[in-house]
Amino acid sequence: MKKRAPRPRKRAGACPRHPGEPALLTCDVCRSPGCPECIHERWGKNVCPSCAERHGAIRTRAALFAIFLFLIFGSIGYFAWSKLRQQPDQAGEVRALTERLSKEPGNDNLVWRLVNLHTAKGEFAKATGYLSRLVEKHPGSQRLLLRMVLLQYRAKDYQQSLMYMDRLKRMDPNNFNLLKIEGEIWKAYGNTEECEKAWLSAYHLKPSDVSHALNLVDLMISQNRIKDAERVLRATLKVVRTLDDRRTVQRRLEEVLRSK
């Protein structure tokens, strides 16, 4: 029977894993001694094999947990994003609202929602049909009349748009924004004379509005009326309120003078 080789006996100060080597180093984590073959520098510390293995396991679990969280929150984010991207079932909503309106003909909220849905789909004739019901019910509502003006303008029914604009102007004849919109309608209609008349009225109400003044100037220049454009710009320079506006008007005036 073979005799087993005697195990090397640990001597004082010997490495617990290599008894024949002196324990010259100490693990900075568990404070156990060891030889240079066992204890290596990791993460700026002297670490024994046991602590290195334990730390590696912790890092692996942390990485797996991070991947798990990424998958969970990534899935939630993708689901939310896909829901936001989905187009609403407008046809189904229109059908449902129409059915409800047949049972509740006096419900203005349903009518207004149908106006918005048909407008979003570009169905201006249907939108104006529903909006007309609201205008007839509330003839003094400037909000509804303005919406009708803009809706008819988008539908390129400029005569109807101007008709509702006349109703609005009778309620508020000196409204700067209404006069600007009226000019835009006349311009789209091809009547530059009426467009200029509306825009001049708006300009006299608010000559410091640089963007509107420049639109008026562009209209005059398109008719080769350089002198009139120059007069508007010089008048605007006297009332502008900011340095940037002054520079903008001055540059435009210089361009007009060069074009003479």
Domain boundaries, the chain: 25-85, 207-260
Crossing angle, helix 90-103 and helix 108-120, to 10 degrees? 150
Report percent pLDDT > 90 for the chain: 58
pLDDT at position 90, please? 65
- Residue 138: name the closest of 106, 175, 93, 115 by CA: 106
pTM of the model: 0.64
- Ranking 5-9, 13-17, 212-216, 256-260 by mean pLDDT, the lowest is 5-9
Q: At residue 156, does pLDDT exceed 60? A: yes
Mean pLDDT of 110-125: 92
Confidence class for position 9, pLDDT limits 50, 70, 90: very low
Q: Choose between 49 and 7: higher pLDDT.
A: 49
User: Token pair of 93, please?
Assistant: 């909503």
